[in-house]
Amino acid sequence: MGRKLLTEHINVEGINTFEVYRKHGGYRSVEKALKTMTPDEVVEEVKKSGLRGRGGAGFPTGMKWSFLAKPEGVPRYLVCNADESEPGTFKDRQLMSKLPHLLIEGMITGSYALGARTSYIYIRGELLYVLRILEKAIAEAYAAGFLGENILGSGYSLDLHVHPGAGAYICGEETALLESLEGKRGNPRNKPPFPAVQGLYARPTVVNNVETIAAVVPIINEGGDEYAKLGVGKSTGTKLISACGHLNKPGIYEIELGVPVEEFIYSDEYCGGIWKGRDLKAVVAGGSSVPILPKELILKTAAGENRLMTYESLSDGGFVTGTMLGSGGFIAMDETTCIVKNTWNFSRFYHHESCGQCSPCREGTGWMEKVLHRLEHGHGSMHDIDLLVSVAKQIEGNTICPLGEAAAWPVAAAVRHFRHEFEWHVTNPKEATAPGAAYRGAAVLA
């Protein structure tokens, strides 16, 4: 069993209340930081921990924090990205509902490190019930003197608010999120300027994922070096994996980075294997944006090494034979899954969620959805398969935010590894479009 730094007490009765959370060691990081550390020392510990952004991009958190501009007399902000909406990802909802004080504690310690006096948690609008849980917990933290004026007599003051979105995947992109927090459409901003210089209300701002902020708590409690001892290489600490799709035990698992993928899928400690006694066909390992891999390549790298749940191991082989850890949204598909249908579904998602600002994304996502729709329904041609790859290539790198890549990568990877299945939809349309039909031939592994 690996160590659990975030979810150790998640099953404790009443852990959502301040009293019980405090009894189990809650808010120690705030006491330690505010009473014994300077803000820069907190940043330093986070740097030492090797913590990388848990929202999907995996950027080193300490470095992101150190980029924050600090002009005199100008307010700066810490904003928590709780707009969890990458298909396959559902860890933050669980963390916030069950352990609201863990996020609040991380927000206080993080805000102190960054010198923020007002901080926000931006939560997706569908989770209003979780917003209420957070607001209740925030009220408790104010009452206990951990928020508000002069926290613990340290002279440091902080206000913390929760702000709901209203249904838009794009608001998970940090500049779209800031636009939305300002009461506007969620259109991503052109960069530079980066949020670290001009973010919320054109003030210096850091945006971090829920899990990233929560991880600051054990890092400050135990020290960055201790945290960095967990995991493998540059993948330090623990990660919440949202496991879904055709698994016997879908759910949220906190793993020490470095668990072999095979163990994660098949062992009873984690997902307990593929449902209904079926065989695994493919996995999308890090949320719907990352390249899909056939069974052979998700279990072992092209060089034949065991694939591990780390940033490095999952991306071994680049986008030819590898993928990404991403947000940790782990979607398993059994042998009866139609890859063409699944790719069409994801393309429809990205088309629906494109904000429409950049032509390559606005037009390209719609185009890919249409082509995939006709392939899936037996009206496609061989030329369509190459067309898909060509459109994907023309979106990638030509948009101001990563939604373009997020839409292009899954399509390109599906065609790369499952081209035979796409071709089968063209050559055998009747068979391929029969209810429940799925291609059982071999995948392309190189």
Partner 1 sequence: MEPTTAPNKPQFSPAAQAEIKRLLTHYPEDRSKSALLPILHIAQAEFGGWVSPEVQDLVAETLKIKPIEVYEVSSFYTQYNLKPVGKHVLEICRTGPCMLRGSDELTAHLERITGAKVGGTSPDGTFTLKEVECLAACGFAPIVQVREKYYEQLDTPEAVDAMLNELKGLVHRPILPWEETGLPNSLKNY
Least gap, CB of 128 to partner 1 (angstroms): 5
Pick from 181, 240, 257, 401 the residue near partner 1 by CB under 8 A. 181
Taking CB under 8 A as the rule, does residue 61 contact partner 1? no
In the list 26, 50, 55, 164, the residue contacting partner 1 (rule: CB under 8 A) is: 164
Binding to partner 1 by residue 242, rule CB under 8 A?
A: yes
Counting Cβ atoms within 10 Å, is residue 31 exposed (0-12), middle (13-18) or buried (19+)? middle
In whole angstroms, give the CA distance from residue 328 to residue 59. Answer: 14
Question: Following CA atoms 232, 272, 281, 364 in sequence, which dihedral angle do they give, to the nearest 10 degrees?
Answer: -70
By beta-carbon proximity to partner 1, the closer residue of 332 and 392 is 332
Instruction: For 326-386, give the secondary structure using H, E and C.
Output: CCCEEEEEECCCCHHHHHHHHHHHHHHHCCCCCHHHHHHHHHHHHHHHHHHCCCCCHHHHH
- Exactly one of 167, 233, 318, 397 binds partner 1 (CB under 8 A); which one? 167
Candidate residues 17, 248, 301, 345; the one interacting with partner 1 per rule CB under 8 A: 345
- Give the type of residue at 370: K
Among 209, 221, 236, 342, binds partner 1 (CB under 8 A): 342
64 vs 351, which CB is nearer to partner 1? 351
Q: How many CB atoms lie within 10 A of CB 436?
A: 6
Minimum Å distance from CB 201 to partner 1?
A: 6
Task: Tell which positions 399-428 bind partner 1, by CB under 8 A.
Answer: none
Cβ 236 to partner 1 shortest distance, Å: 25
- The helix or strand, by DSSP H or E, that contains position 240, with its residue range, turns out to be strand 238-245
Instruction: Tell which one of 243, 340, 395, 412 touches partner 1 (CB under 8 A).
Output: 243
Beta bridge mates, 253: 241
| Neighbouring residues of 178: CB distance < 8 A, sequence distance ≥ 6 | 79, 189, 195, 199, 200, 205, 207
Please name the residues in contact with 341: beta carbons below 8 A apart, sequence gap of 6 or more: 376
Residue closer to partner 1 by CB (options 21, 120) is 120
**Range list of β-strands (E), 94-187:** 118-123, 159-164
Compute the distance between CA of residue 17 and CA of residue 133 in angstroms, rounded to an integer: 10
- Name residues contacting partner 1, limited to 79-108 (CB under 8 A): 84-90, 92-94, 97-98
Shortest approach of partner 1 to residue 38 CB, angstroms? Answer: 27
Q: Packing angle between helix 39-49 and helix 210-222, nearest 10 degrees? A: 100
Residue in 184, 191, 383, 440 binding partner 1, rule: CB under 8 A: 184
By CB under 8 A, which span of 24-32, 66-74, 250-258, 398-406 interacts with partner 1? 250-258
Task: Show Cβ contacts of residue 60 under 8 Å, excluding neighbours closer than 6 positions.
Answer: 47, 50, 51, 52, 53
- Closest contact distance (angstroms) between CB of 341 and partner 1 is 8
Binding residues for partner 1, rule: CB under 8 A, are: 10-11, 84-90, 92-94, 97-98, 120, 124-129, 132, 161, 163-169, 180-186, 201, 242-246, 250-252, 284, 288, 329, 331, 333, 337, 341-342, 345-346, 349, 352-353, 355
